[in-house]
Amino acid sequence: MDMLGDLESLQFEYGIQEEDRSWLYLQGRSRGLMIKACAHATFFCKLLCNLRESFHEKQTSSCLLTALLTGIRDDDELKVGIIGGGHLGKQLARVLLQLVPIPAENLRISTRRPEALDEFQKLGIQCFYHNPYLVDWANVIFLCCLPSQLPNICLEIQTRLEKGCIVYSFVAAVPIARLKLLLNHTNILRPQYHCVEDFVNIWGANKDITAALRDPVILRATCPYSPAGGIILNIKWLEGVLYAVLNICTARDMPHLQVLQLLNELLLSVHFEACEKDGASCPIFQLHDVVSQVYNKNLSQQRPFPWFDLTAVQLKETPFSQHLSASTALQDHLTYRYCDSFGISLPKEQQPGVSTGSASQ
């Protein structure tokens, strides 16, 4: 088939009438949305895996009681469930398997046609049609279904959702406030994307999503603050991710000072060449960055953070949104951390403190 790959008659555009070619940009936009959505879900799962590894390391080094360790060991590994086995569900499963990577035994798919997922079952992934069973098992649930299917799915799973289970919705047609009502649940993430009219299609056409996310140019275009490719992520998603991490720590009763230290290790431990060696000039998360000043004054050192409603975080202004919008250094470091999680770095000309002109610094 490689010999036929460049034949014009085998291309998608072949046979399309000239007057209809103006709509071909929608193909690139659709692919770009798929790539960005899978990339951001992958980053989120990578972050949760790193968080759980940090829990395990700290518990082991603290020499906690054996009984306590035994009680939480089953929760050390991330367990991901996907509801929906269509095009998006299958692409997401491939990306999570290969790029996080999530072991096959820690990924399960619930779909109306599990017999169509033979590819994944051969890899050891359990595929079935039982949404409540999937929710009972998973820490994170990805909703990859059609909008018309969502009300019935929510009705099936709403009573089975534990407080700490994170529901990550790709159902763009259903707003997060509506999803909160349907699920009677607040631990929900829903990325929102804005598409611009004039854009350069950088998303490619022949690579699968996993291969595309190994391309540094495409991967950098998925960075949270990047407008490349004509698709812009609403940065409230990034706030939701941060507060989701705080909720996981709160569920473990971690004192908030330890949580802040852990947050800095997870998100701000990768530095630019221009950063000072001791990192003194680099941003760090502090208490007033994530909670209000009133709450800050009343929070004793050993208390955990409160439980945050992630739907409210993504709909309203928070202390973190104020801090994030005002700090370009924080935006730059989070972007750099995002790229580093995929094993790439920003070009020097895109790094802060690097001059692209002829003048010396």
**DSSP secondary structure of 184-222:** T---EE---EEE-SS----S-SSS-HHHHTTSHHHHHHT
Answer yes or no: is pLDDT of 94 > 80: yes
Answer yes or no: is pLDDT of 129 > 90: yes
Q: Which domains does the chain have, with CATH numbers?
A: 27-57+74-234 (3.40.50.720), 238-350 (no CATH)
Report the run of H or E that residue 108 belongs to, with start and end. strand 107-110
Kindly state the tokens that stand for 191.
């990325």
Q: How confident is the model at residue 62 (pLDDT cuts 50, 70, 90)?
A: low
Cα–Cα–Cα angle for 54, 60, 62, rounded to 5 degrees: 100
Answer yes or no: is pLDDT of 14 > 50: no
C-alpha–C-alpha distance, residues 309 and 169, integer Å: 15
Q: How confident is the model at residue 71 (pLDDT cuts 50, 70, 90)?
A: very low
Averaged pLDDT, 329-356 = 78
- Which whole-number Å values give the CA distances from 67 to 63, 71, 72, 76, 164, in the listed order? 11, 6, 9, 15, 22
C-alpha–C-alpha distance, residues 99 and 45, integer Å: 10
Determine which of 144-148, 257-261, 298-302 has the lowest per-residue pLDDT on average.
Answer: 298-302
Residue 339, Cα to own-chain centre: how many angstroms?
13
Q: What is the pLDDT of residue 260?
A: 95
Averaged pLDDT, 302-306 = 92
Q: What is the pLDDT of residue 6?
A: 54
- Which whole-number Å values give the CA distances from 93 to 33, 102, 119, in the listed order? 16, 9, 11
Answer yes or no: is pLDDT of 7 > 70: no
Contact (Cβ atoms closer than 8 angstroms) between residue 32 and residue 230: yes
Residues 6+ apart with CB under 8 A from 58: none
Averaged pLDDT, 161-168 = 97
Q: What is the pLDDT of residue 298?
A: 78
243-289, pLDDT tens digit by residue? 999 999 999 999 999 999 999 999 998 777 666 555 567 889 999 99
205-237, pLDDT tens digit by residue? 767 899 999 999 999 999 999 988 889 999 999
Q: What is the pLDDT of residue 276?
A: 56
Burial 120-147 (b: 16+ CB within 10 A, else e): beeeebbbeeebebbbebbbbbbbbbee
Answer yes or no: is pLDDT of 353 > 60: no
Averaged pLDDT, 123-139 = 97
Determine which of 4-8, 32-36, 198-202, 272-276 has the lowest per-residue pLDDT on average.
Answer: 4-8
**Whole-number percent of the chain with pLDDT over 70:** 80
Q: What's the mean pLDDT when you consider all of the chain?
A: 85
Cα–Cα–Cα angle for 294, 296, 300, rounded to 5 degrees: 125
Q: Return the DSSP state at 233.
A: E
Answer yes or no: is pLDDT of 73 > 60: no
> Is the overall model pTM greater than 0.75, yes or no?
yes
Q: What is the pLDDT of residue 77?
A: 87
Q: How confident is the model at residue 34 (pLDDT cuts 50, 70, 90)?
A: very high
